[in-house]
Chain A
């Protein structure tokens, strides 16, 4: 079975450029999560979608970050304009339902470097 698929795996771009990260959740999962992982702050939840609707975006750092889920099989996380402090590994995860007892399944992440 296909897991969560993220693209690109690596992204290097210059400060000020727009960055778009993509995620395809596991088929049939109706909950989708975007996380950011850094050495300093560990794993942080950025945004949570349930049935394509954003439920909790309290972790989105600032207005430069936006996320969309136009359908059940695709989500994007966009940073515009990007800054060096946005450099991190960004993970997408999906689960079958939003209840706490459902494990989240993670993609392999996008390693983002902003120069």
Chain B
């Protein structure tokens, strides 16, 4: 069985500030981990993924995430928030075809 917990359903940051979204997972086998972003009235768009290899993964739009096996975490960060980062973010885990999503974190960016 696999599952994802996203800490914090809402995060508010100032423009230019650090964005940190927390994700912890549980998986009985080495997991594949993903972050997706969803803008209003759109589908989910892949930000980045971890499968194997380097534990620090860089994605689109300046986001990155670090896989920490000892902490079963895959937190998403961006050094400097932009207004266009306002969206909902989903962490997901899979070890076969089935993606298990977290509940999502809505990010608002203050000018």
A interface vs B, CB < 8 Å?
4, 31, 33, 42-43, 45, 48, 50, 55-56, 91, 93, 95, 98-101, 103-109, 111
Contact = CB atoms under 8 A, between A and B. Distances in A.
Chain B interface helix/strand/loop/mixed: loop
Q: Quick one: which of B51, B97, B103 has the most chain A CB within 10 A? A: B97
B79 to A, nearest CB: 24
B94 A100 contact: yes
A107 B43 contact: yes
Contacts of B97: 31, 33, 48, 50, 55-56, 95, 98-100
A45 B99 contact: yes
Q: Quick one: which of A42, A100, A108 has the most chain B CB within 10 A? A: A100
A106 B43 contact: yes
B90 interface: yes
B95 A100 contact: yes
B32 A109 contact: no
Given A42-B103, A108-B41, A56 B46 contact: no
Interface string B43-63: 111100101100000000000
Contacts of B36: 106
Chain A interface helix/strand/loop/mixed: strand
A43 B104 CA distance: 10
Given A100-B32, A101-B51, A103-B34, A45 B98 contact: yes
Nearest to B52: A101
B32 A105 contact: no
29 contacts: A31-B97, A33-B99, A42-B101, A42-B102, A43-B90, A43-B101, A48-B97, A50-B97, A55-B97, A56-B98, A91-B43, A91-B44, A98-B96, A98-B97, A99-B96, A99-B97, A100-B94, A100-B95, A100-B96, A101-B32, A101-B49, A101-B51, A101-B52, A101-B94, A103-B34, A103-B46, A104-B99, A105-B46, A106-B44
B43 to A, nearest CB: 4
Contacts of B94: 100-101
Nearest to B98: A45
